[in-house]
Structure 1
Amino acid sequence: MDSRSSRTPERETHLTYPTHPTHPTYPTHLTYPTYATHPTHPTYSTYSQSWSNALALSLSTGEPSVRDFLRGGTVEGLGSNNWVVDGTLTASGKPMLANDPHLGARLPSTWYLVHVSGGDLDIIGATLPGAPAVALGRNRFIAWGATNVAADVEDLYREHLDAAGTHVEFRGAQEPVTVIPETIIVKGAEPVRVDVRVTRHGPLISDAINANSAELKTGPKPAPLDPLAFRWTALDAVDGTMSSFLKMNEARNWSEFTMALRDFVTPSQNFVYADVDGHIGYYAPGRIPIRASGDGSLPAEGWSGASEWTGWIPFDELPHLYDPPEHVIVTANHRPAPPGYPHLLGLEWPEPYRAQRIIDLLRGRTGLTPDDFARIQADTLSLHAKTLLPLLLAHAHAESAPDRQAIDILRQWNADATAGSAGAAIFGAWFQHLAPTLVGDDLGPLVAERYQERFSFVTRFAVRTLASNDSAWCDDVRTAKRETCDDAVTGALHKGVADLTGRLGGDMTRWRWDAVHRAIFPHQGLDAVAALRPLLSRSVPNGGDWSTVNVAAVAAERPYEQHSVPGYREIIDLSPANNSRFLDAVGESGHFLSKHYDDFLKDWRAVQCRAMRMERKDIERGALGHLRLTP
């Protein structure tokens, strides 16, 4: 057997392949929120299942948002930053907290800024429209922010159904399958009825996948999947998450805040905390399952009962921290606990570049102000480029004049992915073409496309391959020539330079990153109508990349476009001066004729925020109008 084919992953939808060359181990150079250093990620074996290729094909050809949801979200720009420092590090002597959640860009905005004041309640921050609580923000006593833990709270179970499909086997007995009828109204056609079959482990997603596969109009149709049930904490009947947020809004101290978090179910979050009394803290609440066996990385036998969820990680044993001696806590979707932690939290985290950069910018600092925090939120230094670019340059042997000029620009570049940087544009294009050049022949177009947007995996794999000069991966098996890693890297550079030349022209001195890299805010529902897109959707040129604190990941399917953004930013000052600030990415109105539809967008791009006014005199001084609702 060829050594390359034996290393080709069977299934891109697997959570992680830490021992596989294309999925190297988690890095060892960063801090955890709760610990000072962290060793390597534990290892798990790869696998091959007959249904895996069918699953990958079905999900890869479906609606992107549904596909990414079912596969756990593969765009690494979907993350967040938060950090908190106590008063020993601030100019005011009181804690400060910052947060910027990263979600898909859209119009109207995901977030809505609110200030709710009544009786003992006085709270300000960001809410999700329609939700009765402030998700991120502060009240008169405490402040908080959140990032995603990336906890593994989803499992797949292979089921044994009877011939009629009405009963499922469990521990030798037959249990009835619950059928939930759903009627889908179709414009211009008859309504469609869908019977959702549900076992004790959850809905049979194989029914939907098989139905979609059967409707494929082009390409080979995958073989039908065996019955596959989806277990997820968010599908449980009891969910106290909203109650948790309501209690959080009223909390006045760490004890009340953590008591509120006990009701939190999903999605598990890294909450950072600060209060006016000078305390800071961190907690990662949520229902994270304890499995009878296995780690959830493989579909389990639903019929045997050997891999059932036996309970949740006890709240007191979830990662947490209170008033640490370092006086600072940082989370940015990196791994929240070391291997010595006694419970399985998850298997996959992005490369911790954002967390590392925030730590670097805070290290050794005192007298911090909200303006200092704002500069951190705006930072575009790419640790990704600092890691990978030296290896790329060592392997590149440019032969054409444009390629040599590109190399010269990159050798002078400081790895800061600013909007006006030609180096950032060239590096971004080079990286865009690197994964297809290295593994496109091995993985094939379907899996290679999905792999390309796993920026951490691609980076770890590229560093490992190029550092070891592993020519087996660098060779293109589709050609008679035996390519080297120098050939592959040089070829990717040439494609990237040609790509940018076609977009920006031949004068590299005029190239800018933001000339090709734009943050796209599509209108939900009407962006697909070409005539309405200019009226309803928005886009702005932008800097940054997937690894920068001011995160700006590109979309693999639309090169150079940024589809996920820091949709809300907050910087909270717990001193009496309350020099706090916040901003939504686009605007507060959902009506495109309103001047407030997109009036935040310019400030968002410049990473400038608006004041968090809580005093009545300040509110009245800045009021644009009043709307009074009477019963």
Structure 2
Amino acid sequence: MRIFLLIVSAIITIVLIFLLSTSLSISGSKTPRFGAFLSPQNGFWQNAEASNIDFNEKFTSARLDGKVDVFFDERLVPHVYAEKENDAYFVQGYLHAKFRLWQMEFQTYAAAGRLSEIMGKGKAFLEKDRFFRRLGMVSSAEQSLKTLEANSVTKSELDAYTNGVNAYVETLDPAKYPLEYKLLDYKPEKWTNLKTQLFFKYMSYELAGFDSDFEMTNARSIFSPADIEQLYPIAPDSLDPVVARGTTFQNASHIPKKPGNADSIYFHSSGISNSTLIPQPDKNNGSNNWAVAGSKTKSGAPILCNDPHLGLNLPSLWYEMQLSSPTLNTYGATFPGSPSVIIGFNDSCAWGVTNASRDVKDYYEIEFRDSTMQEYMFNGKWLKSTFRNEIIKIKGEPDVTERIAVTVLGPVMYDKTFPNVLKDGKYYALRWLAQDTSNELLAFNKLNHANNYADYLNAISNYQCPGQNFAFASKSGDIAIRQEGKFPAKWQRQGDYLMPGVDSSYAWQGFIPNSENPAMTNPARGFVSSANQLATDKDYPYYLAGRPFIYRGIIINRWLNRLSNITVEDMQQMQTDTYDVFAEMARPLLLRYLNQQDLSNDELSYINKLKEWNLRTDYNEEGPTILDKWWRRLQKEVFSDEFAKTALPMRTPDNSTLLEGLLRDSTFKFVDNISTPRVESLRQIVSASFKKAAKDLDTAKQSDYLIWGKYKNTGLKHLLNIPSFSRQQLEMGGSLNSINANFRNNGPSWRMIVQLSKDTEAYGVYPGGQSGNPGSKYYDDFVDDWVKGKYFKLLFLNKQEGQNSDKIKWKMTFSKA
């Protein structure tokens, strides 16, 4: 019996050892090794952070050239004071790693197409990795790194930053690994300069990676050129551009030539690209920025405001800090993974950015000699392809090799080995601006050091991709905005559709000269602004390819035209405003054509709520939900019959297209349902759409999401989509058409207001916290204030003020070993 019990005990012990040391597959996902994860010495218990944690620390490194003092204020924002500027970047890297290591490294894994390496077997991860490998993220980052390292300023800055990251990584043992490493059962890598460039390329994808070439090509195969112009107009009627209407532009110095066969082949092609949906960044990634001159402010000093709208994630995209040395003093939002302040201010000026929403990503159909893709036709000759063999490692599985053909027009994004995006057997090469070598870090380095308008212009002239609207204000009184980037000079509609790639006639023919980019400086109206709308009206001599927004720009300029004696408090109120100008235009139209006499009492109750609505998209309002449901149903009633001609994806016309089409003409061509024998009127379509929307609203009411805040469900999602590490169902208002633009997991990722008075007065907030550790009280401690529209006063202190401030709670000292 004793032997039997010993055998049973041994078997149980062996099984437990196996279970505790092995990752198990549960519901298609891999668990961490439970033994390591639950270990009291090294497991997740070690990530619980005491509420009274002491961040005081002394650190020495042979990589430092002098002493650095870091004062942390009560919000855990570091104020870095270095004797040498490069040491400030070293400490920036160290602090980014200390508080955000997993986040910054995970993002570079995604950019490099390496998620399978840490996430394991899974089609979604592998397909995403294949997508980013084909996009050329790594090779593009490698080429841009050569440019960056050829510049002594940016090389020394990035070298110092990377050394700082690695100085922290070298202090880690498994017990100190951020929690996500333990969950996914892997360990941090050594940081490299390439990883920072990968992060910049990933931001290019997020902000300049959206395209609709395949969807537009499908639309072109169904609709006439005249229909296309109605469905997808180049510029909406209600556009209030970045550069004010009536501005005189110089004649184009570089005029691209449209191919002679474009009218017959490009604009009238009947071939349908048999595509499925292509991975896309969030098309709602946008932003607001504006600067008002001292002539419009109560203090007489310019005020600059910025709130970039990006994915709402935890840990937050941003990390707030001050960097100071004898040659530098700047404060603002930084990217974990990159040195310098990205959006912020210094002793002399402030700057902020919004996305230019320009199309710098085009596809070309390649004619290969055969399926080996060894040769392709170009300009009447068979040219040799080059190849990239990308090794994708998969955790616990054999490696996968992605063989990518490269042509003079770019890498072949889609071929027969990548069938989930194309079914027609064709080959498409990608020409994307982010593939070009560039040095965006130099632009931010120079902005951090800028003293005046001339410095601002010099700084942003180094910026290429993703194109941005750089707003600027200085203590000398200047305000300006400039759409900066490297933009291809295109003939009208070039790149809106898939293009022939058998010769150079459809290739980019050059770039718009930097001096001809849209810009405004010290305008008579006393302000500049942007909100992802088109930069100019039709008088600009170049084609502004892209898919811009319009309604936030309208309400921003309405505010700024109306206001005088502006205060910081006015700007805070404006930046969090929830008024919906699209609803202001759409509601009268819908009510005008609704047959109210045919409505039931329940349906009338919805209409009465819509009529009484104040057009603010506040959390408890029901009006915006009613309008949204109705508008979505109207879009289907108007367009679904024409779009039913194909099961293939097509770009949905913008809200402004339908609204302006109906405002111009109640007999708008697409109102009639072509699948019925009769001719429907707008009144019939509007009434029918409301009847259907009313049923949707009944369902929403029964499910308790009729109020707008619950319906739009704004939240912050952890990068691994772990619910307990996320903050969902936030009680906040706003809409995609409001200045306070948010919906689902997209919204203002950093709100900043800077008054450039003698003593700079600045305020800011972002949805998150300084720590990336879900076990820390500093992980999400800004979220509630952000939701409520509150701001923190930003402590822009000199070193002596920092030493004496009662807002400073901890001190870290760095010195040379």
CA 469–30 in structure 1, closer or farther in 2 if over 3 Å, else same: closer
- Once residues 234 and 512 of structure 1 are traced to their aligned partners in structure 2, the CA distance between those partners, rounded to angstroms, is 41
Correspondence 1:54 to 2:274? yes
Q: Do the aligned partners of residues 119 and 159 (structure 1) sit closer, same or farther apart at CA in structure 2, a change above 3 Å counting?
A: same
The 10-residue stretch of structure 1 (618-627 or 596-605) with the greater mean CA deviation from structure 2: 618-627
The answer to whether the Cα contact below 8 Å between 2:343 and 2:353 also exists between their aligned partners in 1 is yes
For structure 2, the residue ranges without an aligned partner over 5 or more in a row are 1-214, 249-261
Report the CA distance shift for 1:516/1:145 in structure 2 as closer, same or farther (over 3 A).
same
Specify the code of the residue in structure 2 equivalent to 1:229.
A
Secondary structure at the aligned position of 1:264 is classed as coil
**2:502 maps to 1:303:** yes
Show the counterpart of 1:348: 547
Q: Which residue of structure 1 lines up, in the alignment, with residue 198 of structure 2? A: none
Identity of aligned residues (%): 26
- Match of 1:165, SS? coil
Cα 1:524/1:414, change in 2 over 3 Å: same
Partner of 1:271: helix, strand, or coil?
A: strand
State the one-letter code of the partner of 2:742.
Answer: A
- 1:123 Cα deviation from its structure 2 partner: 0.7
- Superposition pairs of residues 352-363 of structure 1, within 5 angstroms: 352-363=550-561
- 8 A Cα contact 2:415 2:426, kept in partner: no
Deviations 1:364-388 (A, max 9, x none): 4221111101111111111111111
Q: Tell me which of 407, 423, 427 is aligned to 1:227.
A: 427
Cα distance in 2 for residues equivalent to 1:196 and 1:609? 49
| Superposed counterparts of 1:31-46, under 5 Å | 31-37=240-246
Distance 1:293 1:157, change over 3 A: farther
Is the contact made by 1:54 and 1:225 (CA closer than 8 Å) also made in structure 2? Answer: no
Structure 1 match to 2:179: none
Deviations along 1:325-382, whole A, 9 cap, x unmatched? Answer: 22211111111122222223324322x2111111111214221111101111111111
* Cα distance change of structure 1 residues 17 and 179 upon mapping to structure 2, 3 Å threshold: farther
Q: Distance in 1 between matches of 2:270 and 2:649?
A: 21
The answer to whether the aligner puts 1:502 opposite 2:699 as a matched pair is yes
Q: Is 1:277–2:482 an aligned residue pair?
A: no
Contact 2:318–2:335, Cα closer than 8 Å, also in 1 = yes
1:600 is matched with 782
Question: Which amino acid in 1 is paired with 2:314?
Answer: L
Pair 1:208–1:611, CA change in 2 (3 A): farther
Paired residues for 1:479-558 under 5 Å: 483-505=680-702, 512-525=707-720, 527=721, 532-553=722-743
What does residue 579 of structure 2 align with? 381
Q: Is contact 1:210-1:225 (8 Å) kept?
A: no
- Tell me the equivalent position of 1:626: 811
> RMSD in angstroms over aligned alpha carbons?
3.0
How far off its partner does 1:511 sit?
A: 5.2
Q: Secondary structure at the match of 1:274?
A: strand
Q: Go from structure 1 to structure 2 and tell me whether the alpha carbon gap of 1:478 and 1:293 turns closer, same or farther (over 3 Å shift).
A: closer
- 1:245-285 CA distance string (max 9 Å, x none): 11111111111111111211101111111111111112212
Residue in structure 2 matching 1:268, options 459, 462, 467: 467
The residue that corresponds to 2:449 in the other structure is 250
2:321 equivalent to 1:114: yes
CA contact (8 A) 1:32 1:338 kept: yes
Aligned partner of 1:23 in structure 2 is 232
Q: What is the CA–CA distance in structure 2 between the aligned matches of 1:257 and 1:381, rounded to whole Å?
A: 33
Number of equivalenced pairs: 578
Is 1:179 the equivalent of 2:387?
yes
TM-score, normalised relative to structure 2: 0.66
Cα distance in 1 between the residues matched to 2:424 and 2:574: 50
Note the 1:175-214 alignment, pairs <5 A: 175-207=383-415, 210-213=418-421
SS at match of 1:94: coil
Deviation string 1:78-133 (CA, Å, 9 cap, x unpaired) is: 21111101111111111100011111221111122121112221111112111112
Contact 1:105 1:521 in 2 (8 A): yes
Partners of 1:499 and 1:181 in 2: CA distance: 50
> What SS does the aligned partner of 1:185 have?
strand
Q: Tell me whether 137-146 or 25-34 shows the greater mean CA deviation.
A: 25-34
CA distance in 1, matches of 2:425, 2:768: 42
* Corresponding residue of 1:101: 308
Partner of 1:216: none
Aligned to 2:769: 587
Say if 1:493 and 1:372 are closer, same or farther in 2 by CA, change over 3 A. same
Give the C-alpha shift of residue 506 in structure 1.
9.7
Classify 1:598/1:81 alpha carbon distance in 2 versus 1 (closer, same or farther; 3 Å). same
Change (3 A) 1:293 1:96: closer
- Equivalent-residue separation in structure 2 for 1:371 and 1:341 (angstroms): 36
Say which SS state the counterpart of residue 290 (structure 1) adopts: coil
Q: Give yes or no for contact 2:595–2:683 (8 Å, CA) kept in 1.
A: yes
Say whether the 8 Å CA contact 2:220–2:267 is kept in structure 1: no
Closer, same or farther: CA 181–264 of 1 in aligned 2, 3 Å: same
Residue 665 of structure 2 corresponds to 468
Q: Which of 575, 580, 593 matches 1:395?
A: 593
Looking at structure 2, the residues matched to 182 and 13 of structure 1 have their Cα atoms a distance apart, in angstroms, of 35
Shift of 1:487: 3.3
User: Partners of 2:493 and 2:639 in 1: how far apart?
Assistant: 30
Instruction: For 1:414-493, list aligned pairs within 5 A.
Output: 414-444=614-644, 451=651, 457-465=654-662, 468-470=665-667, 473-476=670-673, 483-493=680-690
Residues 321/415 of structure 1: CA separation in 2 closer, same or farther (3 Å cut): same
- Give 3-state SS (helix, strand or coil) of 2:241's partner: coil
**Aligned partner letter, 2:308:** P
Matched, 1:569 2:751: yes
Instruction: Supply the distance in 2 between the matched residues of 1:208 and 1:87 (Cα, whole angstroms).
Output: 60
Amino acid at match of 1:521: L
Q: Distance in 2 between matches of 1:514 and 1:298?
A: 38
Aligned equivalents of 1:586 and 1:498: distance in 2?
A: 37
Cα distance per residue 1:495-548 (max 9 Å; x no partner) = 3333233233399xx9532132221221112x1xxxx41344533133222211
Shift of 1:477: 5.2
Give the secondary-structure state (helix, strand or coil) at the position aligned to 1:289. coil
Contact residue 105 and residue 564 of structure 1 kept, 8 A: yes
Tell me the CA shift for residue 143 of structure 1.
0.5
Find the residue that maps to 2:387 and give its secondary structure.
Answer: strand
SS at match of 2:497: coil
1:28–1:468 distance in 2 versus 1, CA, 3 Å: closer
Partner of 2:420, secondary structure, is helix
How far, CA to CA, are the matches of 2:789 and 2:591 in structure 1?
32
The 8 Å contact of residues 30 and 38 in structure 1, kept in 2 or not, is answered as no
Aligned partner of 1:54: which letter?
N
Match of 1:312 in 2: 511
Is this contact kept in 1: 2:237–2:660, CA < 8 A? no
**Cα deviation digits, residues 52-95 of structure 1 (max 9, x gap):** 4413x242xxxxxxx224xxx5x3x3211111011111111111
When residues 97 and 517 of structure 1 are mapped into structure 2, their CA distance, relative to the original with a 3 A threshold, is same
Q: 1:162 to 1:463 in 2, by over 3 A?
A: same
Sort the Cα spacing of 1:170 and 1:540 in 2 relative to 1 into closer, same or farther, 3 A: same
Residues 517, 541 of structure 1: 8 Å contact kept: no
For residue 612 of structure 1, report the CA deviation from its aligned partner.
Answer: 1.6
C-alpha contact 1:544 1:552 (8 A) present in aligned 2: yes
Matches within 5 A, 1:134-153: 134-153=341-360
TM-superposed deviation, 1:479: 6.2
| 2:193 aligned residue | none
Deviates more, 1:287-296 or 1:118-127: 287-296
Q: Quick one: distance in 1 between partners of 2:647 and 2:761?
A: 48
SS of residue paired to 1:310: coil
The secondary structure found in structure 2 opposite 1:363 is helix
User: Relative to 1, partners in 2 of residues 1:290 and 1:449: Cα closer, same or farther, differing over 3 Å?
Assistant: closer
